[in-house]
Amino acid sequence: MTRALLFVVALSFGVLGAPRAAHAQSAAAVLAQGARAYDDLELDNAAGLLRRALAFQGAAALAPADAARALMYLAATELLREHADSARAVARRLVLADPRFRPDELVFPSQVLTFYEGIRRATPVVIGRAPADTAIRPGTEALAVRLYASTFHDVTATLGTEAGRVVRTLYSGPIGDSLDLHWNGLDSSGTASPPNGRYAITVTSLDRQRRVVRILRLPLEVTQGRVDTLPHPAPPADSLLRPERQSMRPALRAFAPAALAGVAIVVLPGVVANGEDASAARFVVGGTVTIAGIAAFFSHHPGKSIPANVAHNRTLRDAWRRADTEITRRNAERVRGMLGIRAGAPVLLTPEAP
Amino acid sequence: MTRALVLAIAAIVAGAPLAAQSRWNVSFGVGGGQEIARSRIGTTRERVSGLVLGGEVVATRGKLVARLRYGQGRVTNDTAGRDVAEGEALLGYKARPWLTVWFGPHARTFVVPGQSDRRWLHWSGRVTARGTLFPGRVESFVELWQGITGSLNRPAESASGGGAEAGLVLRLARHPVWGRLAYRIEQGRASGGTRRETVEAITLTVGFVPLR
């Protein structure tokens, strides 16, 4: 009875635990298994594993480079399984995801390389990279967007509103490997910046018959003069500044013993020899001691300016004032006539074939 | 008195070898000063003054200090005159770099021709405080002493007393020479209350301390 119960419990754990363990495998591990299966020519197994690796979503999904590798393995697998349509679809998906991807010639046979090259050439597409947040001075500076193409083809690039109205045509012509688009912040009149709002750079890829085959939309948020200002530098800390005048303390410290001795000479006879009139000659000694103390006091130049320290502090303060003035100037420039541009995530659209 | 002078010189000379010892620092000084002595015996008062010459040796080892002073001279007025000899032998301890405490005997003898000597002897405790005016060059000092026990030889009585000295010490840079200008006042009182001796002096001392 007990043995039967243990068997049921073990079976339950086995049934429930197995899928969980498989699911616990990371996408990268599944990709590695798929690649090994491909190398061992276990193509059906490889196809299953690679599709599973690509199915991971969200934070568990493959990194872009691994995803490209998985797609390439899957395309090769499908090609070797003689699933040509499937191989073509996977290869096209790879080209659209990463037009710059090139398969490893040491891993894949020439048949696969030639197949992928053909798909890449037949799939004109561009991707774009733009700084996420920048500011330009319209007319003199420009926003740079770098485009990467899968193959040589013609493109048109425009800046337009969300509604699709073209604000400015940025480029029209062929693209090879890559191309830099520049927008100087002005509209088609070339004199004014567009008003604040949401815009998009649209790059349209054309085939040889000049039909639209792909559209890349790079959303932009344009804001006039709304630019973060730079913080003003803090004034030099007191710990960095040196005293500009001689302290009184060393002078007083030098004078005090003489003063005490002088006072002692005047006062002590009355204490030590009570009832006697002490000789006035003691004032000669007391006076001498006091004069020596006064000389010692002034030898320390109390309150006198220290030129080296004054110069040192002036250098620090001047440097701070210069930095502060420069920040003020730059902030004024930033606010005046600057165009803040924030780029969103690019979106790739493939129009339906007519 | 001649014997006392010889002893003082012998003490100074005897101190010389100490200077050669690396752990002892010995300085010597000679000087003189105008001394005014006022005596009061009952209602009788007498004031005499004159020049007193003397010498001193100070030996220092770590915080220990020993000081020998001797001086003698003649003090007079229009009608009378006395020879005076005075000396002290003190042992001190530097409690702080600026503070030294002393203990030792201090004696003064007045010799009147045709009369017996009158000698005051005090065992005293002293405190000397120094302050720097110009570092390494000039410092001031104040010394106070109080007789712990004392005696007067004739008439034989116990005595009390106290005194003070203050002044200026000057050292020459890179020279083993120093000088001191000081004012000193001391008073001895016999226990009977009828006799009191007050001595004031302005002294100028020039000394030598080997450079280390």
pLDDT tens profile B153-207: 888 889 999 999 999 999 988 889 999 999 999 999 998 778 899 999 999 999 9
d(CA A69, CA A75): 10
- Degrees, nearest 5: CA angle B70-B76-B79: 155
Inter-chain contacts counted by CB atoms under 8 A, chains A and B: 99
pLDDT, residue A281, reads 85
Shortest Cα distance, chain B CAs vs residue A248, angstroms: 14
Cβ pair A143, A136 in contact under 8 A: yes
- Give the B-side interface with A, CB within 8 Å: 34, 36, 38, 129-134, 138-142, 144, 162-164, 166-168, 181-183, 185-187, 196, 198, 200, 202
A259: pLDDT strictly greater than 60: yes
Cβ pair A78, A47 in contact under 8 A: yes
pLDDT tens-digit profile of A262-318?
999 988 888 888 778 888 888 999 999 999 999 999 988 888 888 999 999 999 999
Question: In 10 A of CB A221, how many CB atoms?
Answer: 14
CB spacing of B133 vs A257 below 8 angstroms:
yes
Provide ipTM, 2 decimals: 0.81
pLDDT tens-digit profile of A140-156?
888 999 999 999 999 99
CB spacing of A257 vs B185 below 8 angstroms:
no
Six-digit token string for B139: 């410092």
d(CA B12, CA B57): 6
d(CA B68, CA A237): 57
CB spacing of B167 vs A261 below 8 angstroms:
yes
CB spacing of A276 vs B38 below 8 angstroms:
yes
CB spacing of A258 vs B38 below 8 angstroms:
no
Find, in chain B, the residue whose alpha carbon is nearest to that of A252. B133
Residue A236, burial from CB neighbour count under 10 angstroms (0-12, 13-18, 19+): middle
CB spacing of A289 vs B130 below 8 angstroms:
no
Buried b (16+ CB within 10 A) or exposed e, B176-204: eebebbbbbbbbbbbeeeebbbbbbbbbe
* CB half-sphere exposure, A341, CA atoms < 13 A: 29
Shortest Cα distance, chain B CAs vs residue A241, angstroms: 28
For residue A326, the one-letter residue type is E
Cβ pair A156, A248 in contact under 8 A: no
Six-digit token string for A151: 């193959």
A143-149 β-sheet, strand order: A126-129, A143-149, A178-183
Least CB–CB distance from B164: residue in A256, A257, A264? A264
For residue B113, the one-letter residue type is P
Shortest Cα distance, chain A CAs vs residue B2, angstroms: 30
CB spacing of A260 vs B142 below 8 angstroms:
yes
d(CA B135, CA B170): 10
Find, in chain A, the residue whose alpha carbon is nearest to that of B169. A289
pLDDT, residue A185, reads 87
For residue A18, the one-letter residue type is A
CB spacing of A296 vs B138 below 8 angstroms:
yes
Residues of chain B found within 8 Å of residue A295, distances taken between Cβ atoms: 133
d(CA B66, CA B49): 29
Q: Which residue in A129, A121, A65 sits closest to A98, CA to CA? A: A65
Per the DSSP assignment, residues forming a β-bridge with B84 are: B73, B110
Question: In 10 A of CB A316, how many CB atoms?
Answer: 16
For residue B99, the one-letter residue type is L
- Sorted by where each starts, the structural domains of chain A and their CATH numbers stand as 25-121 (1.25.40), 126-226+338-349 (2.60.40.4070), 248-335 (no CATH)
Cβ pair B35, B49 in contact under 8 A: yes
Which whole number is the average pLDDT over A320-337? 82
Distance set, CA B3 to CA A266, B9, B67, B116 (Å): 37, 10, 20, 17
Find, in chain A, the residue whose alpha carbon is nearest to that of B132. A254
Dump strand ranges (E) for A98-209: 126-129, 133-136, 143-149, 153-161, 166-175, 178-183, 197-206
Find, in chain A, the residue whose alpha carbon is nearest to that of B145. A272
Which whole number is the average pLDDT over A201-211? 90
**Domain B2-208, what architecture?**
Beta Barrel (2.40)
Which whole number is the average pLDDT over A209-216? 90
pLDDT tens-digit profile of A94-144?
998 888 899 988 889 999 999 999 999 989 999 988 888 888 888 888 899
Of A189-193, A215-219, B88-92, B106-110, the poorest mean pLDDT is in A189-193
CB spacing of A284 vs B202 below 8 angstroms:
yes
Find, in chain A, the residue whose alpha carbon is nearest to that of B128. A261
Number of H helices, E strands in chain A: 9, 10
Task: State the pTM of this model.
Answer: 0.53
Residues of chain A found within 8 Å of residue B185, distances taken between Cβ atoms: 268-269, 272-273, 278, 282
Cβ pair B180, B200 in contact under 8 A: no
The SS3 of residue B131 is strand
Residues of chain A found within 8 Å of residue B142, distances taken between Cβ atoms: 260-261, 264, 268
CB spacing of A285 vs B139 below 8 angstroms:
no
Cβ pair A202, A164 in contact under 8 A: no
Question: In 10 A of CB B146, how many CB atoms?
Answer: 15
Shortest Cα distance, chain B CAs vs residue A305, angstroms: 21
